[in-house]
Structure 1
Amino acid sequence: MVTGDAAYIKKINRSLIIREIVKEGMISRADLSKVTALTRATISAQVADLLDEGLIIETQLEHNHVGRKPIMLSLNGQAGYALGIDLDYGQLSFTLSNLLGQPISSTTIEIDTTDYFKILHLLMEQIQKYRSAYTDSQYGIVGIVIAIHGLVATDEIVHYVPRFNWHDVHLKNDLEKVLGINIYLENNANLSAFAERVFVHHETNNLLCATLYSGIGLGMMMNSEFFRGHDGYAGEAGHMIIMPGGKPCNCGNKGCWEKYASESSIFEYLSEKRKIKNLTYEQIQGWIDEGDEEVHELLEQFIYYLSIGLNNMINMYNPDVLVLDSELLRIYPNSLDKINKNLHSSISHYRELLISSIGKKSCGLGACALAIKYFLEVPMLNFYYNEQKEKNVSVIN
């Protein structure tokens, strides 16, 4: 039983109630009392406050049974919006969702600079546009989370972004000083892992998500919390050495995992070998379908080196679920079966290995979901992703 001052207990009870409403989608006051073990009087008082604040709504459940129709409680998805920003090399991606995590729009802006102050100005400009455009709800933009493809310290200082060559930049503080709104920074792989937990794997407490696009990042959810390490830098699995004395890496070492098993390594090789500047997945798909021997051999090698690193991750963390976020794995036939065949160690234990069903959108969705989690002050969320509701807009600068 929770003890303490009345304000603290009220806050804990509020969090319990909101979490169950989000988890169930629709729930009655009576059922809330049962699942939270709170008295009906407490439920009634808290629900009245949440209704006054516009965070929840009442719906009369239609049914054919005799008797009074139950009044159901739901989170008011239209009460506000969350903004997720993926700050990646060459582009800024913005995802806007309602409070139910349902994406409203996504916009990608191509950038041709790595200059910190130019990107900072662009971020300020775009965030202001979103704040001005979405003032039609009670709470407006409730939170902003920015995905960083690099090292983010526990104090949210950006320690290092390899492809931008940024060192110890205070992006959070610089944005908050001008915008006057809370900004949160998080590693991109962590946000992808969070999206997998929130939108797909609701009953999974220990989840790893390996993102394989511009490098290899490992998002880790342990007991439904981010596993960050001492300074917040845990998860840089792409810089685990799997080939001593191998290919040089930007980190300063040689033979890093991501030099052999990231999508960027495949794209760089094929672009150089075939003299194609802006290689696309569609072109690689075409070569796969045509039975291009070199491409098939390259992807078999990609899977082999990927499996070596995954074996290490499984043995170190013993996850319930390991999710692989890679478009190449999605388009290459039987890729998952081939990976599983390479994981034949008798001491490797995991429940499920699968390719992400969300894909590249996971980072933006995870950012939105984390902003909502902070706003609602709940320990975890259970949402469902409806891709058809999203409107995609691409803007090129």
Structure 2
Amino acid sequence: MAIGDAAYIKKINRSLIISKIIEHGMISRADLSKITKLTRATISVQAADLLNEELIVESQQEHNNVGRKPIMLSLNRKAGYALGIDLEYRHITFTLSDLIGCPVQSTTIEIHNSNYDEILEILINQINVFKEQSSSSHFGLVGIGIAVHGIVTNDQLINFVPRYQWRNKDLKGDLKKSINIPIIIENNANLCSFAEKVFQHHQSDNLLSISMYSGIGVGVLIKGEPLKGYHGYAGEMGHMIVVPEGIPCKCGNMGCWELYASESSFFKELAEKLHKTNLTYQDVQKLFLSEDPTACDQMEHLIKYVSIGLNNIINLLNPETIVLNSELLKLYPDTINKIKANLTSSVSHYSELLISELGKNASVMGACALVIKNFLEIPELSFNVENGAFDENCINFEKNKSLA
């Protein structure tokens, strides 16, 4: 066997072992051997290397059986950190996670304009803050993932961000001039779908995640892989026309889906009808609880258009799992069943329709997870919330707010 072949096989084995350690949270060498079908000698050599690198740690598990306690292997979650950034309209969220994707700190910075150079400076300054905070760990800040609410090419160039009116921006290249850390630029909806797969729906290889906040973005996984299209533009279904000659959209079309079925469109129209400004989720929840006819009618209107878009997407892609990412849908009674009742076509087929549990954290959690996957050089990533790896501090992570 050629040396190159041996090195390649060793790399494949390492990747498999790391994946299984993460999937199980804690696992013994013997169980690793059974699951991976690798010899105990191979497991021992690989484990020794990973321990020397401080990428995994050993611990003894309590048990009631007679004999030696098994020595368990787990990922050294504090060996390094990943930074996820959600580049949203009017604010930027920075979330730092450990190596099992558990958020440890989050900062939101409000922005009051769309000037590219000013936002670039904010990104550089904040990244350097998190880099310094991570410097005491063995690997430090292992990478940065940035979620962009717009079109991102396969080369990670920003083609167009409607809300900012950015065109043809090389954000990755501009950041690289000041920051020597691996950077990933990705569409926010793609990162949401990746997060749903990694943290929630491990067995679903055909999954749609539909983010419904400032617009509508659709992340599509087909056979476990993101659907990106020829240049990377696939998934811009928020700009699917559902009302011919309808409301003009910043994309240049008229009657786009997101103008009728996004949270931003709902809040805008409801505020106008009620002659109010700055409606919050709490305000809307109170209106729903009091069965305010204007708010309820507006919600039924949104459900109607959500259903129209879903019918089109289901017929196109035949997904297994559809995840609607919306805080608004959680506030209205029986939303999912009302949407399902509108999906009556005999040619539309899907398995599961639900509201995301990750909510607005999905983008940054997906960004962190993708950074971790690339850093560990593993083909698949699966964080199991139920295996005890995620503790209370992980779910209720620190949140800070600052202004710019």
Q: Identify whether the pair has TM-score above 0.5, normalized to the shorter chain.
A: yes
Amino acid in the other structure paired with 2:145: V
Amino acid in the other structure paired with 1:148: V
Amino acid in the other structure paired with 1:197: K
Superposed displacement of residue 53, structure 1? 0.4
Verify the 8 A CA contact 2:157 2:172 in the aligned structure 1.
yes
Paired residue for 2:98? Answer: 98
> What TM-score does the superposition give when structure 2 sets the normalisation length?
0.95
> Structure 1 residue 27 and structure 2 residue 27: aligned?
yes
Verify the 8 A CA contact 2:204 2:321 in the aligned structure 1.
yes
> Structure 1 residue 123 and structure 2 residue 147: aligned?
no
Verify the 8 A CA contact 1:86 1:93 in the aligned structure 2.
yes
Among residues 380, 387, 402, which one is paired with 1:395 in the alignment? 402
Question: Distance between the aligned counterparts of 1:218 and 1:98, measured in 2?
Answer: 27
Paired residue for 2:182? Answer: 182
Matches within 5 A, 1:231-380: 231-380=231-380
Amino acid in the other structure paired with 1:285: Q
> Structure 1 residue 161 and structure 2 residue 161: aligned?
yes
Matches within 5 A, 1:46-57: 46-57=46-57
CA displacement, residues 282-309 of structure 1 (integer Å, 9 cap, x when unaligned): 1111111121111111110100110011
Query: 1:178 is paired with a residue of what secondary structure?
Result: coil
Question: Distance between the aligned counterparts of 2:224 and 2:176, measured in 1?
Answer: 28
Paired residue for 2:37? Answer: 37
Superposed displacement of residue 170, structure 1? 0.5
Question: Distance between the aligned counterparts of 2:304 and 2:138, measured in 1?
Answer: 52
Query: 2:178 is paired with a residue of what secondary structure?
Result: helix
Query: 1:393 is paired with a residue of what secondary structure?
Result: strand
Verify the 8 A CA contact 2:270 2:298 in the aligned structure 1.
no
Question: Distance between the aligned counterparts of 1:7 and 1:63, measured in 2?
Answer: 38
Question: Distance between the aligned counterparts of 2:189 and 2:94, measured in 1?
Answer: 16
The total of aligned residue pairs comes to 396
Superposed displacement of residue 144, structure 1? 0.4
Question: Distance between the aligned counterparts of 1:97 and 1:53, measured in 2?
Answer: 20
Paired residue for 1:221? Answer: 221
Deviates more, 1:3-12 or 1:75-84: 3-12
Verify the 8 A CA contact 1:84 1:145 in the aligned structure 2.
yes
Verify the 8 A CA contact 1:152 1:185 in the aligned structure 2.
yes
What stretches of structure 1 of length at least 5 have no aligned partner? none
Query: 1:81 is paired with a residue of what secondary structure?
Result: strand
Superposed displacement of residue 276, structure 1? 2.9
Superposed displacement of residue 388, structure 1? 3.5
Verify the 8 A CA contact 2:141 2:181 in the aligned structure 1.
no
Superposed displacement of residue 206, structure 1? 1.1
Identity among equivalent pairs (%): 55
Question: Distance between the aligned counterparts of 1:346 and 1:211, measured in 2?
Answer: 26
Amino acid in the other structure paired with 2:292: D
Query: 1:104 is paired with a residue of what secondary structure?
Result: strand
Paired residue for 1:172? Answer: 172
Question: Distance between the aligned counterparts of 1:218 and 1:35, measured in 2?
Answer: 35
Paired residue for 2:148? Answer: 148
Paired residue for 2:138? Answer: 138
Amino acid in the other structure paired with 1:76: N
CA displacement, residues 310-364 of structure 1 (integer Å, 9 cap, x when unaligned): 1111111111110000111000111111001111112211111000111111111
Question: Distance between the aligned counterparts of 2:117 and 2:396, measured in 1?
Answer: 35
Query: 2:109 is paired with a residue of what secondary structure?
Result: strand
Question: Distance between the aligned counterparts of 1:112 and 1:189, measured in 2?
Answer: 23
Question: Distance between the aligned counterparts of 1:261 and 1:206, measured in 2?
Answer: 23
Question: Distance between the aligned counterparts of 2:299 and 2:310, measured in 1?
Answer: 16
Verify the 8 A CA contact 2:188 2:363 in the aligned structure 1.
yes
Paired residue for 1:200? Answer: 200
Distance 1:328 1:389, change over 3 A: closer
Question: Distance between the aligned counterparts of 1:364 and 1:177, measured in 2?
Answer: 23
Query: 1:159 is paired with a residue of what secondary structure?
Result: strand
CA displacement, residues 138-176 of structure 1 (integer Å, 9 cap, x when unaligned): 011111000000000000000000010000000000001
Superposed displacement of residue 219, structure 1? 0.7
Amino acid in the other structure paired with 1:117: D
Question: Distance between the aligned counterparts of 2:68 and 2:351, measured in 1?
Answer: 44
Verify the 8 A CA contact 2:86 2:364 in the aligned structure 1.
yes
Verify the 8 A CA contact 2:247 2:254 in the aligned structure 1.
yes
Verify the 8 A CA contact 1:102 1:389 in the aligned structure 2.
no
Superposed displacement of residue 389, structure 1? 4.1
Question: Distance between the aligned counterparts of 2:187 and 2:15, measured in 1?
Answer: 26
CA displacement, residues 28-75 of structure 1 (integer Å, 9 cap, x when unaligned): 111111221212221111111100001101111110011221111111
Superposed displacement of residue 277, structure 1? 3.0
Structure 1 residue ranges, 4+ long, deviating more than 6 angstroms after superposition: none
Amino acid in the other structure paired with 1:74: S
Across the aligned residues of Structure 1 and Structure 2, the Cα RMSD in angstroms comes to: 1.4
Verify the 8 A CA contact 1:242 1:256 in the aligned structure 2.
yes
Paired residue for 2:382? Answer: 382
